[in-house]
Amino acid sequence: MTKVLTVSTAAPTREAGLRLAESATSAGLAAGGQVSGPVASVFWHGGEFGQGKEWVVSFKTTEERYDELEAHLIEHHEWRNPEVTAVPIARASAAYVEWVERVTAKKVANDG
């Protein structure tokens, strides 16, 4: 059975999060994406302690597509070093797994 992952990143605005979700999903790298927030964040960045608002962007994908999704998020993100993490789904319905597999499957061109 295919290993399904939840992949997360954060974005500085809701609009930036929606752009990431739309671009990754329309590229077939994720079956879907959600933008949640704002969330309050406390962090170290550039040697300084800070606080701010972020929007969490979560994706559904397969382990097979993770590397491409990660590269896409890093390339299209506004931040230089964005968080991109993945957590495997321990259990999921067969129909859900089939949907994620089908939507994220690499499309092969028909040479006719």
10-residue averages of pLDDT along the chain (112 residues): 93 98 98 98 93 97 98 97 96 96 80 53
Exposure b/e, 20-58, CB count within 10 A at least 16 = b: bbebbbeebbbbebebebeeeeeeeeeeeeeeeebbbbb
Res 109: pLDDT:
57
Res 108: pLDDT:
57
pLDDT tens digits for 54-65?
999 999 999 999
Res 65: pLDDT:
97
**Taking the model in full, what pTM does it have?**
0.91
Domains identified in the chain and CATH numbers = 4-102 (3.30.70.120)
